[in-house]
């Protein structure tokens, strides 16, 4: 009987560690920074033969799909290959059914076969649902900023954080796990460093506006 289960065959002997698969996967799925559908792990550098040769090192890269890998279901449904496979210049990633890949894995060592269990909750759907909820929070906060009265009219482009303000702000930012950056041109709220908590908030405003809203929310 033929299994329809599909997977990725990873030949880690020749992976160059170029990270193209990581980036392609992130672009395809709209993952934020720090979220991976596939991640390059590194083993090394370490001496190949520490007893006899102190000059030759090995440095291995291993592409490891994460729980978010859905084997590019949408692309595959359109007859395309998964995007990581498509973008791997070293051609060390292969996609196929388990029946197709098993003979390949028997052909040489230093390969790994990955396939999702398909039995657990779909992690990608769960992440999307969280993002949707967080986007609503971000939108409501954006609304709050836009109705923050006089603070919105402040000349935020010239806003500068003094030490006390920065300290207060950092406490609140920590609490809300936000990332904020001030530079010569003012203050930019970049959104959350943790995409599963608050995504896609990119709001330019002034220090007073941020303080006002976050303080209100911290009560």
Q: Who's near 29: CB < 8 A, 6+ residues apart?
A: 37, 68, 124
Q: Does 93 bind ligand SF4 (CB under 6 A)?
A: yes
Q: Does 69 bind ligand SF4 (CB under 6 A)?
A: yes
Residue 198 beta carbon to ligand SF4: minimum distance, rounded to whole angstroms: 23
Q: Does 210 bind ligand SF4 (CB under 6 A)?
A: no
Nearer to ligand SF4 among residue 91 and residue 106 (C-beta) = 91
Give Cα separations from 52 to 48, 49, 55, 56 (angstroms): 9, 6, 9, 10
Could you tell me which stretch among 12-20, 102-110, 129-137, 178-186 binds ligand SF4 (CB under 6 A)? 12-20
Which one among 63, 138, 148, 208 touches ligand SF4, defined by CB under 6 A? 63
Q: Does 94 bind ligand SF4 (CB under 6 A)?
A: no
Q: Does 101 bind ligand SF4 (CB under 6 A)?
A: no
CA distance 88 to 106: 22
Which one among 40, 148, 199, 208 touches ligand SF4, defined by CB under 6 A? 40
Nearer to ligand SF4 among residue 51 and residue 119 (C-beta) = 119
Residue 11 beta carbon to ligand SF4: minimum distance, rounded to whole angstroms: 8
Q: Who's near 218: CB < 8 A, 6+ residues apart?
A: 172, 175
Record the tokens describing residue 79, joined without a space. 């007859």
Record the tokens describing residue 41, joined without a space. 């792990």
Q: How far is CA 207 from its chain centroid? A: 28
Nearer to ligand SF4 among residue 21 and residue 169 (C-beta) = 21
CA distance 41 to 29: 20
Q: Does 186 bind ligand SF4 (CB under 6 A)?
A: no
Nearer to ligand SF4 among residue 75 and residue 142 (C-beta) = 75
Q: Which residues bind ligand SF4 (CB under 6 A)?
A: 8, 15-21, 24-25, 28, 37-38, 40, 61, 63, 65, 69-72, 82-84, 87-88, 90, 92-93
């Amino acid at each position: 009987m033929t299994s329809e289960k599909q997977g990725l065959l990873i030949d880690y002997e020749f992976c160059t560690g170029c990270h193209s698969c990581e980036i392609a996967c992130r672009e395809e799925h709209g993952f934020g920074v720090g979220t991976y559908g596939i991640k390059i792990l590194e083993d090394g550098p370490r001496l190949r033969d520490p007893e006899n040769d102190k000059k030759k090192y090995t440095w291995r890269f291993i592409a490891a799909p994460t729980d978010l890998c859905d084997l590019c279901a949408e692309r595959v449904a359109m007859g395309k290959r998964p995007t990581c496979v498509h973008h791997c210049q070293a051609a060390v990633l292969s996609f196929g059914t388990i029946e197709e890949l098993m003979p390949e894995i028997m052909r040489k060592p230093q390969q790994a076969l990955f396939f999702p269990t398909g039995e657990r909750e779909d992690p990608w759907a769960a992440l999307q649902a969280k993002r949707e909820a967080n986007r609503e929070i971000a939108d409501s906060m954006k609304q709050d900023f836009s109705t923050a009265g006089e603070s919105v009219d402040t000349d935020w482009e010239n806003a500068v954080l003094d030490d006390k303000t920065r300290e207060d702000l950092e406490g609140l930012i920590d609490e809300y796990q936000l990332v904020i950056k001030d530079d010569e041109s003012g203050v930019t709220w970049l959104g959350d460093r943790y995409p599963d908590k608050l995504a896609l908030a990119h709001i330019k405003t002034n220090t007073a506006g941020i303080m006002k809203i976050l303080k209100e929310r911290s009560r």
